[in-house]
Amino acid sequence: MYKRILVPLDGSRFSEEVLPYAVSLAAIHGTELSLLRVADRISSEDETRDYIDRVAANHGARGLCLQESGSVARALLEETGHEPATLLAMTSRGHSGLAELVLGSVAQQIMREAKEPILMYHPAGIHGAKHPPVTLRRVVLSLDGSELSEAIASDAAEFARWIGAELEVVNAVHPLNAADVGEVSEGEMALMESSYVRSKAKLLGKQYGIRISWDVLHGNPVEAIVDHLTGCHDVILAMATRRRDALETALLGSVTAGCLRKTGVPILMRPA
C-alpha cells in the first residue's frame, strides 16, 4: 500500500511523538522511513542537519533536510508527492505545543490541500516520557451513515490489510426507544441499531479479505468513541473530515477534531 512513510519534525518533542507509530508501521513490510526537517532561512543548516541525522539514526530512518522560506505545508505536500505511495505521518502541533497550533498553520493547511489520507496524531507533550514502538492490531473505522464518513472506508480497509490488522467498524448512535420505533423487543431494537454498521463491516471484509468486527456505540459521538478506545494504544482510528472543517473547527465541536484531541491514538484522516 505504502512504499515510504514521511514524518516531518520541527525539533520539538511534540512532533516526535508520532514516531512510535511510524517506526512500527515501517517495520511491518520494511517500508522506508524518512524523517524530514523543514527549516527557514534563519535556521542554522548545520544544526538542522545534526538534529535530523541524530533522530534518524536512532530510529533506523533516512534523514532529509529542506530549506524553505515560504509555506511549510506546501513543502511537505510537495515532498510527499515526489515519491508515489508515500504516507505522511505527523503531529497536529509542534514547537511550543500551544493549543492554538492545533487549529494552526501547518496541520490545518495540509488537511485543506491534501489529496490522500494523512496519519495525524495529537501529542501529549509529557516531559521525559518514553515512547517505544507501538504494535498495531486494529483499525477502527468510524461511520455515521453519511457519504462523507464513508469516504475513508476503502482506505481504512486497505490499511488494515496492509498491516495485517482487524478492521472494526463502529457507529455512534443515540439509543432508540419505544416511542421512536413502536413496541419491539430489546433484541429487535439492537438488530435495528446494528444493521447499518454490520452490513458495512461484512461488505468490507468480503471485498478486502480482512478480519472484521463491528459495534454500535451510544451517545455523543466523540464521548462514545473516546470511551470505546480508552486504554487502547494498539489502534489507529480512521475518519473522514471536510476540508473546510479539518482542524479549524475543533472549538466548534467537529467529531474528527474532538477525537483527535481526546482519544490518544493516531487518526487516518481523509479530507473530503
- Give the residue numbers spanning the domain of 38: 4-121
246 lies in the same domain as 198: yes
Q: Does residue 71 fall inside a structural domain? A: yes
Domain contains 129: no
Domain final position from 76, 96, 121: 121
Q: Last residue of some domain: 66, 92, 121?
A: 121
The torsion angles phi and psi of 120, rounded to 5 degrees, stand at: -115, 140
Q: Are residues 59 and 180 in the same domain?
A: no
Number of folded domains in the chain?
2
SS3 105: helix
Looking at the fold, whether 144 and 244 belong to one and the same domain comes out as yes
105 shares its domain with 21: yes
Same structural domain for residues 28 and 89? yes
Tell me if 158 is assigned to some domain. Answer: yes
Whether 230 maps to a domain, the answer reads yes
Q: Is residue 155 part of a domain?
A: yes
> What are the residues whose beta carbons fall under 8 Å from the beta carbon of 249, sequence distance 6 or more?
257
- In this structure, are 107 and 160 located in the same domain? no
- Residue 152 shares a structural domain with residue 262: yes
- Which of 185, 188, 190 is closest to 175 using CA atoms? 190
Structure confidence at residue 153 (pLDDT) = 98
Q: Are 130 and 143 in contact (CB under 8 A)?
A: no
209 phi/psi in degrees, rounded to 5: 65, 45
- As to burial, measured by CB atoms within 10 angstroms (0-12 exposed, 13-18 middle, 19+ buried), residue 249 is middle
Supply the pLDDT for residue 252: 36
pLDDT value of residue 95: 55
C-alpha span between 147 and 185 (Å, rounded): 30
Q: Is residue 131 part of a domain?
A: no
255/262 Cα distance (integer angstroms): 10
Residues 61, 21, single domain; the answer is yes
CATH for 234: 3.40.50.620
- Using the 3D structure, point to which of 121, 151, 183 is the last residue of a domain: 121
Same domain, 188 and 261: yes
CA 64 to the chain's CA centroid: 23
**Residue-level pLDDT at 103:** 36
CA dihedral 214, 218, 219, 222 (to 10 degrees): -20
User: How far apart are alpha carbons 202 and 174 in whole angstroms?
Assistant: 23
212 and 241 together in one domain: yes
pLDDT tens track of the chain, all 272 residues?
Answer: 999 999 999 888 888 999 999 999 999 999 999 999 987 655 566 778 899 999 999 999 999 998 776 788 888 999 999 999 999 999 987 654 444 343 347 888 888 888 899 999 998 876 555 667 888 999 999 999 999 999 999 999 999 999 999 999 999 987 655 445 556 566 666 677 789 999 999 999 999 999 999 999 999 999 999 999 999 989 999 999 876 554 455 433 488 889 998 999 999 999 87
Q: Are residues 225 and 155 in the same domain?
A: yes
Residue 76 counted as domain residue? yes
128, part of any domain = no
| Residues 20 and 95 reside in one and the same domain | yes
**Residue that the C-alpha cell 489507529 belongs to:** 236
CA distances from 77 to 70, 84, 158, 243 (A): 13, 12, 22, 15
Count CB atoms within 10 A of the CB of residue 227.
Answer: 14
pTM of the model: 0.88
End-to-end Cα separation, the chain, in angstroms = 20
